[in-house]
Amino acid sequence: MWIGLRCRSQGRATSIALCLIATWVLAPVAMRYVLKNALSVAHPVWSDYLVALSPGFPIQAIESGEVHRNSYLINMGLHLAMMLLFRHLSLISADQRLGRARRSMPIQTVAAP
């Protein structure tokens, strides 16, 4: 939603969102592959947590049988925090970006006698 409000063009917003999601899913897996195979670095413990940054991690872990409880907690906690942050940032300026007028006075309730 934030990207769509920022770009103001549906095609551009869709392209940027698709590239961002693909990078988010593939970058941690690619970094782990480069560390493990291309650079011949011994399998460090933190590389399992690096893959936990990808939203595709739970699917990969279930299919391969590599289930790490801490990685799941990191994955879910990180993605929950990111979702809440992006939602908050999107809704802060949504009315302004959509051209809606701001309320000048708060709505007051009248107490019954």
**Would you kindly state where each structural domain of the chain is located, as residue ranges?**
2-97
Predicted structure pTM score: 0.52
Query: Tens digits of per-residue pLDDT, 54-77?
Result: 777 777 777 777 666 777 777 788
* Other CB atoms within 10 A of residue 47 CB: 16
Query: Tens digits of per-residue pLDDT, 17-51?
Result: 899 889 888 888 788 778 777 777 776 667 667 77
Tell me the two tokens of residue 10.
């549906």
Please answer whether residues 71 and 62 qualify as being in contact, where contact means their C-beta atoms are separated by less than 8 angstroms: no
| Higher-confidence position of 109 and 86 | 86
CA distances to 75, 92, 101, 107 from 104, rounded to whole Å, are 41, 16, 9, 10
Q: How far apart are CA 21 and CA 54, in angstroms?
A: 10
Tell me the two tokens of residue 13.
């917003």
* 28 closest CA partner among 60, 66, 6, 1: 60
